[in-house]
Structure 1
């Protein structure tokens, strides 16, 4: 690794640390309006959706195109996980069930990636 690359990585680490630490340092003195507090409650769901949706719907990447068929093990497992999470209140069971469906479907139908 060159010196320039090391400086870039150190700079990115410092910026990331300072941004995250700033909320701990001034957390009690910083008061958000109710509208902002309500909007921030949806951030985790939005971020998780932005990460999961492309992986489920485009398992081969953008070049591979949309995979909205029954052979897509990612899609079948995501649907099973959503149903398990919706019908029950045990998140770990839903995740484990989704993983089991994914590996079983991949074994029965073939690799979807």
Structure 2
């Protein structure tokens, strides 16, 4: 890379780039240290453990939703195959409560819909 911003084509100053990289590294370290270094071997309160169980449930939909609503493969336009696959995955996950089953059936639905729609 020659130090240009791919979105705008503007040059990125090397100092600014290193400030961002070091800042993100320090922030990531601080977040991990807060749980591993400061809390360490101490027992966490039950209320905190109960709330931490919901973290994957909150993060996974936040990662998947933009890929369904604005998929890069279609230039950011919502399309029926991805929406159908997401709905099948959600329905099977809620009904059967089997994550792997929901993911595999959603994957199968996506490929079937892509094949049917050309």
Matches within 5 A, 1:54-69: 54-59=66-71, 60-61=75-76, 64=77, 67=78
- Select 2:116's aligned residue among 88, 108, 113: 108
Alpha-carbon offset, residue 107 of structure 1: 1.5
Structure 1: any 5+ residue segments left out of the alignment? none
Alpha-carbon offset, residue 78 of structure 1: 0.9
Mean alpha-carbon deviation: is it higher for 84-93 or for 46-55?
A: 84-93
1:52 equivalent in alignment to 2:64: yes
- Select 1:19's aligned residue among 18, 31, 34: 31
Say which structure, 1 or 2, has more relative contact order (CA 8 Å, 6+ apart): 1
Runs of 4+ deviating beyond 6 Å: none
Alpha-carbon offset, residue 24 of structure 1: 0.8
Number of aligned residue pairs: give it: 102
TM-score, normalised to structure 1's length? 0.67
| RMSD across aligned positions (CA) | 2.6
Map Cα deviations across residues 51-78 of structure 1 (whole Å, 9 max, x no partner). Answer: 22232233354xx4xx4xxx51111111
1:98 equivalent in alignment to 2:110: no
Alpha-carbon offset, residue 89 of structure 1: 4.8
TM-score, normalised to structure 2's length? 0.65
Partner of 1:41: 53
Distance 1:33 1:91, change over 3 A: closer
Map Cα deviations across residues 25-82 of structure 1 (whole Å, 9 max, x no partner). Answer: 1223364462x44333323212222222232233354xx4xx4xxx511111112212
Q: Determine the C-alpha separation between the residues in 1 that align with 2:103 and 2:16.
A: 42
Alpha-carbon offset, residue 94 of structure 1: 2.1
